[in-house]
Amino acid sequence: MKPISKIEIDLTSKGKKIVGIDEVGRGSLVGPVVACAFMLDSLDEKININDSKKLTENSRAYSFTQLMVSGSIFGLGYSSHDEIDKINILNATKLAMIRAIENLRIIPDVLLIDGNEPLNTEIEEICIVKGDLNCTSIGAASIIAKVTRDFILKKISRIFPHYNLERNKGYGTLEHLKLIKKYGPSPFHRKSFKIK
């Protein structure tokens, strides 16, 4: 296993159990924010890992499938659209990340968190801006979180097909905004987000 970031190499050399954390769906108008906490040393080195946004849908799905069958250790956490409306997107994102950590079957020594917002857990935390681009563990977390959230959006889209959520993933594209104006928001739209 060759971690791509210096920080992962340094922590691995000290025998630390490293978990990378990322979230998906923070800027969407629909559905939950999904977070994944991924344990670095459970990653098969043959799997193509990158920021999920940099992979095509097919490459992301392939990497996701490999992660699922390779014995990877990870936890998922969600924060629903209702929770987002109640406690705001930043707090809901942190809640989803904490739930992902709680759903791990191991206790990590260090959390590598994508972005610049600490979670204030009792575990050592290191925030890394653009961590999904630079850290293998965060990149793996981003792939699992992205594919999981896209699956949820596909299910919502089957109930409310007229928003084209499979195409826009709930984000505020011009088409999506026009469809919200035409049909009104669905029960899964976030009421606290301004829709222009």
Average pLDDT, the chain: 92
Residue ranges of domains in the chain, CATH in brackets: 6-183 (3.30.420.10)
pLDDT of residue 47: 81
Q: Is the pLDDT of residue 1 over 90?
A: no
pLDDT of residue 81: 97
pLDDT of residue 4: 63
Q: Which two tokens stand for residue 112?
A: 């590598």
Q: What is the pLDDT of residues 120-155, one digit of tens each?
A: 999 999 999 998 888 999 999 999 999 999 999 999
Q: The tokens 């669905």 sit on which residue?
A: 186
pLDDT of residue 196: 62
pLDDT of residue 194: 75
- Long-range own/partner contacts, residues 157-166 (CB < 8 A, 24 or more apart): 159/186, 160/186, 160/188, 163/30, 165/30
Q: What is the pLDDT of residues 69-104, one digit of tens each?
A: 988 999 999 999 999 999 999 999 999 999 999 999
pLDDT of residue 28: 96
Beta strands at 74-79 and 33-39: parallel, antiparallel or unpaired: antiparallel
pLDDT of residue 139: 93
pLDDT of residue 2: 40
Of the chain, the percentage scoring pLDDT greater than 70 comes to 97
> Residue 193: helix, strand or coil by DSSP?
coil
Q: Is the pLDDT of residue 22 over 90?
A: yes
Convert 57-126 into a string of H (helix), E (strand) and C (coil). HHHHHHHHHHHHHCCCCEEEEEECHHHHHHHCHHHHHHHHHHHHHHCCCCCCCEEEEECCCCCCCCCEEE
pLDDT of residue 98: 98
